[in-house]
Structure 1
């Protein structure tokens, strides 16, 4: 244990850790609203489209280290968002289709320009996807701090408007707020945050931190404020854990943060007490068993009303169940004293009738 701690402390770099934390908080801060609006794939579109902005800016300044590359990427990111909104609102094309059309067009256009005009320029694909955060220094903080402050102020000041807009855009206009302004302001901030984070930590961590914490918190709560705060906390936890694991195992930090984000999402997806896959599977299993038992008792009661003989073999043939299901259900009913067995006949008891009527009442009057 002490060896693990000393290994992490030796390689720990405060500047890099702060950049990662600030990036993840900036992304998760807006991710909740994208998840609720069901437009999370906009992030993927922006992360592909910004290449066009970088390429066009490079053609003008001829310098890969110029800050104009970030400006060009930001402008194309904003343009991507606006075009997606424009196409999806003014045609019969869905937003998903609009996202696919725009980002593939911009990305392919960037590839064509690269192959024709700047084919001799080397672009490090590993740096594009995973970032070069290990080489970052404190000056990078000045890029992300204003973005985080701007995002937090936007959400805090316009929280009420955002809440109404996310769940009912029409009501936003009726109450005197411009849903168009809120939407474009939100998407502009999303674009700006995505581009800055893309430059600092790479596209994989950018997409993971924008969507992962928000999607995880959405599984745990339905309240917007709780969901927003929880997504920020999860972003902090995911980033910290991913950074420490990346240091200890000497792996790419951005990639490890994305992996941790996915793992925590899957843990919540499977193990969430109320709506997790495991709890749902267990609940459905017992519901199925109870429904089979109710079906048996209902059949016995109907036969009793119609004055039919509840012979074991006849009941089995009428229900058309397999031998295993029928015997299992019979044993459970006998053990619970809902039925009694006499001379190869099954009789429903008063306790069985009471149980049956209670369940029927719950079904029709939940």
Structure 2
């Protein structure tokens, strides 16, 4: 198999595995929890190494996962103390544990150089090479990542109702006996295990990217949780393939190219998403502004209808002075109101139609 295709498949598995729990992190407003977990894994790995003194031991994975759960617990304790806000607690915990991990490596393990690029961006190209052994056979990381993806998919399917209810209405979930706190910590365990599996392959930067960006993009496109989960996984896979092939074509770092692909994908969705995208919101604001101007015109005409000033107040040539608009805006508003059937021209003036009067009554509450 082509090495680029093989690498893109590995990253696609990582992306899909992270996107599933990442969707719930985004919905629970805990997106940066993945950042904290991604940074504190080093702390757990170092502690596990001190215990087993074997860099190839699978206990290092358990230590990393445990450190992720520890970080979440510490954040919860600080937040519930009432002394520290959630975002500050997150920053305090992950900075402290990450620094502690780096310090332990620097002090206790001599002649070790921590490559910043490797720590932050990982080495996706090495994710295809076997690093673990089971029953005497080499186990490629992609098998572990595939198992994590299958486990996440199974858990989301089996506990979809519990996750959905505790995410959107934890009070109702508690009253029905679902125990939101248990579900929350179980989700954090899943996030930690997923982050551990992905950490070695893609580094903490892409771990955060795969957890957060696809889910955030999917959130802009749908209100249905099942569809959001599917879209998040799809977006992560697409970004993995696009970024990997772009890196090969440009001869640059794979992790960096995939991160850029994630950013470009989110920017495209943010711009073009129907209803929630920037373009759609701009069009909606323009329509609201135009509708408001037409309403002001109809209210102005209604207020002076049947009064001695009606002829002057409704004269098209001087209408802009009464409404304090520019002549160009006034002409455009009159043209739209005429097309929409709110007013008609009567010589040099304007007159409300029955539709226009009904609109004014609807807004002002008159009869």
TM-score, normalising length from structure 2?
Answer: 0.85
SS in 2 for 1:220: coil
Shift of 1:110: 3.3
The whole-number CA distance in structure 2 between the counterparts of 1:342 and 1:300 is 15
Q: State the Cα distance separating 1:28 from its structure 2 match.
A: 0.6
Residue 217 of structure 2: aligned partner: 216
Q: In the TM superposition, what is the alpha-carbon distance from 1:209 to its structure 2 partner?
A: 1.0
More deviation, 123-132/158-167: 123-132
1:329 matched to 2:333? The reply is yes
Distance in 2 separating the partners of 1:18 and 1:319:
63
How far 1:63 sits from its partner (Å)?
6.0
SS across alignment from 2:274: coil
Matches of 1:334 and 1:120, distance apart in 2: 81
Alpha-carbon distance, 1:97 to partner: 2.5
The yes-or-no answer on 1:143 pairing with 2:144 is: yes
Could you tell me which residue of structure 2 aligns to residue 320 of structure 1?
Answer: 324
Q: What is the number of equivalent residue pairs in this alignment?
A: 352
Other structure's SS at 2:310 match:
coil
1:88 aligns with 2:88: no
SS in 2 for 1:135: helix
Contact map agreement 1:35 1:211 (CA 8 A) in 2: yes
One of 111, 116, 123 as aligned partner of 1:125: 116
Partner of 2:350: 347
8 Å contact from structure 1 (residues 21, 239) kept in 2 = yes
Deviation of 1:33 (Å)? 0.7
Counterparts in 2 of 1:42 and 1:328: CA distance versus 1, 3 Å:
same
Unaligned runs of 5+ in 1: 1-8
Contact preservation (8 Å) 2:21, 2:191: yes
CA distance in structure 2 between the partners assigned to 1:306 and 1:244 by the alignment: 73
CA shift, 1:246, in A, is 2.1
Higher mean C-alpha displacement, 138-147 vs 125-134: 138-147
195-204 or 106-115, which moves further after superposition? 106-115
Distance in 2 (CA, whole Å) between partners of 1:89 and 1:97 is 12
Is 1:72 aligned with 2:63? yes
1:12 matched to which residue of 2? 4
Q: Could you tell me which residue of structure 1 aligns to residue 164 of structure 2? A: 163
Q: Tell me the SS of whatever aligns to 1:325.
A: helix
CA distance in 2, matches of 1:125, 1:348: 73
Which of the pair is proportionally richer in helix? 1
SS class of match (2:304): helix
Cα shift at 1:171? 1.6
Give the drift of 1:272.
1.4
For residues 187 and 10 of structure 1, do their structure 2 counterparts lie closer, same or farther at Cα, with a shift above 3 Å needed?
Answer: closer
Residue 220 to residue 292, structure 1, CA distance change in 2 (3 Å)? same
Contact 1:78 1:192 in 2 (8 A): no
SS of equivalent residue, structure 1 residue 40: coil
Residue 12 of structure 1 and its aligned partner are, at CA, apart by: 3.0
The Cα RMSD (Å) is 2.8
Shift of 1:109: 2.9
Per-residue CA deviations over 1:60-103 (Å, capped at 9, x if unaligned) read 56665654443332221110011122332343543223212211
Q: Deviation at 1:111?
A: 4.2
Deviation by residue 1:295-331 (Cα, 9 ceiling, x = unmatched)? 1121011011444234247643432223432343345
The change in CA–CA distance for 1:333 and 1:181 in structure 2 (over 3 A counts) is closer
Q: What are the equivalent positions in structure 2 for 1:219-258 lying under 5 Å apart? A: 219-258=220-259
TM-score after normalising by structure 1? 0.85
State the 1:359 CA deviation.
Answer: 6.8
Alignment of 1:168-179 (within 5 A): 168-179=169-180
Q: How far apart in 2 are the matches of 1:363 and 1:149?
A: 58
8 Å CA contact 2:65–2:189 kept in 1: the answer is no
Shift of 1:203: 1.5
Which residues of structure 2 form unaligned runs of 5+?
Answer: 131-139
Number of the residue aligned with 1:262 = 263
Equivalent runs, 1:264-283 vs 2, <5 Å: 264-283=265-284
